[in-house]
């Protein structure tokens, strides 16, 4: 198998019936960068910036942050990198930061919520990102956005930092795209607005499924109780990709779901065409999709979703379809 995946490296990520699929990798530290070359991935679809904060002994300064982002962009050699702003809080605690005791950390003060309440931290990070992106294409995305209003408030902060840097004579990024992680279900009820406001969407299926089913992603007792290949979850995922297509808003799946071949197959059937996953998943997913007939799959999934009422999981049907080719 490893040998087979190695051979696939030089093959394009295109389905048997000619549909191109974008495969990117998730990363968080400089040591992950060689994976770009090793997998021939199209870029980094999710760079988890909190990793630098989690391994550090003190709060990384703005210039330390900038140095990392610059090194990442340098080593990516022109391939796109999507930086996610700090996703701390919840279970990701920083040893040097004051700890807040919370009954339900996953539902608590985390990610963009901290960013908006303590804008100094978010502003410093945005500044570091914009400086590192000087003269290059820059993509930034925001974690745990629950409402369009939160996105607009974050955008105001980004705009203000950009204006300030311009005033100081810094060369701005060539282009700046500000995207949103779709991982809190409330956003599914503001899709028409969020696809208009955001420059792109990235689906964080780990958190989205956790919150959709109200099942802690770390709690084995309940985490496997609900299948993301159930009718409810697939309909939710389809509503996102349809809203994005209507508004011409690019959308990527960056949660673990996108790195499992059968799950990725289902997502392609729903209309997704771009994925970001752990480097080790690229080979298996590429092998799957190169054998795939998207035309047939789309028809089959539409039928399964229409006729699958009440099905806790379409996994057996999807596996049967996958076994046909
Ligand atoms: C997700 O929630 O799916 C995601 C990609 O982010 P993280 O796993 O870092 O929460
Ligand atoms: Mg998440």
Mutational test site, ligand 1, from 90, 203, 255, max ligand atoms within 8 Å of CB: 255
Nearest atom in ligand 1 to the alpha carbon of residue 143 is 6
* Nearest-5° Cα angle at 7, 4 to 11: 120
Measured between alpha carbons, how far is residue 117 from residues 43, 92, 112 in Å? 32, 18, 8
> Could you list which residues have their CB under 5 Å from ion ligand 2?
183, 204, 207
Ligand 2 centre distance from Cα of residue 16 (Å):
32
Distance (Å, whole) CA 248 – CA 206 = 25
Structure confidence at residue 26 (pLDDT): 98
CB atoms within 10 A of CB 50: 18
Structure confidence at residue 299 (pLDDT): 95
Can you give 59-83 as a three-state secondary structure string? CCCHHHHHHHHHHHHHHHCCCCEEE
Q: Which residues line ligand 1 (CB under 6 A)?
A: 46, 48, 87, 183, 204-207, 254-255
Ligand 2 centre distance from Cα of residue 143 (Å):
7
Mutational test site, ligand 1, from 28, 143, 237, 276, max ligand atoms within 8 Å of CB: 143
Ligand 2 centre distance from Cα of residue 111 (Å):
9
CB distance 141 to 84 below 8 Å: yes
Q: What residue owns the CA closest to ligand 1's atom 6?
A: 204
Give me the residues of the chain with pLDDT under 70, please: none
CB distance 87 to 142 below 8 Å: no
The interface predicted TM-score (ipTM) is 0.99
| Beta-sheet pairing, 44-48 with 175-182 | unpaired
For 180, the 3-state DSSP assignment is: strand
- Nearest to residue 193, comparing CAs of 151, 138, 235? 151
| Helix ranges, the chain (H) | 2-8, 34-39, 50-55, 62-76, 112-117, 119-132, 148-167, 191-197, 205-212, 220-223, 231-246, 261-270, 282-290, 294-307, 315-323
């Amino acid at each position: 198998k490893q040998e087979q995946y190695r051979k696939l490296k030089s093959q394009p990520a295109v389905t048997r019936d000619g549909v191109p699929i974008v495969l990117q990798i998730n990363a968080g530290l400089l040591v992950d960068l060689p994976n770009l070359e090793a997998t021939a991935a199209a870029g980094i679809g999710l760079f988890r910036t909190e990793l630098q904060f989690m391994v550090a002994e003190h709060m990384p300064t703005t210039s330390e942050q900038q140095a990392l982002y610059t090194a990442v962009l340098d080593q990516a050699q022109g391939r796109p990198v999507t930086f996610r702003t700090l996703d701390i809080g919840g279970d990701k605690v920083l040893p040097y930061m004051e700890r807040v005791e919370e009954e339900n950390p996953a539902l608590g003060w985390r990610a963009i919520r901290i960013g908006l309440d303590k804008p100094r931290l978010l502003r410093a990070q945005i500044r570091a990102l914009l400086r590192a992106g000087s003269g290059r294409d820059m993509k930034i995305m925001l974690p745990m956005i629950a409402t369009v209003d939160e996105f607009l408030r974050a955008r105001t902060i980004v705009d203000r930092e950009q204006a300030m840097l311009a005033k100081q004579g810094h060369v701005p990024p060539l282009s700046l795209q500000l995207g949103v992680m779709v991982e809190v279900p409330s956003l599914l009820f503001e899709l028409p607005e969020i696809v208009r406001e955001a420059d792109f969407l990235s689906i964080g299926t780990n958190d989205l499924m956790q919150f959709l089913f109200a099942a802690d992603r770390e709690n084995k007792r309940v985490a496997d109780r609900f299948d993301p290949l159930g009718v409810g979850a697939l309909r939710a995922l389809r509503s996102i990709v349809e809203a994005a297509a209507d508004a011409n808003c690019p959308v990527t799946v960056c949660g673990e779901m996108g790195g499992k071949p059968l799950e990725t197959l289902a997502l392609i059937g729903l209309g997704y065409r771009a994925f970001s996953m752990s480097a080790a998943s690229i080979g298996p997913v590429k092998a799957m999709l190169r054998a795939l007939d998207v035309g047939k799959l789309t028809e089959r999934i539409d039928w399964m979703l229409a006729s699958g009422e009440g099905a806790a999981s379409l996994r057996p049907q999807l596996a049967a379809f996958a076994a046909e080719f």
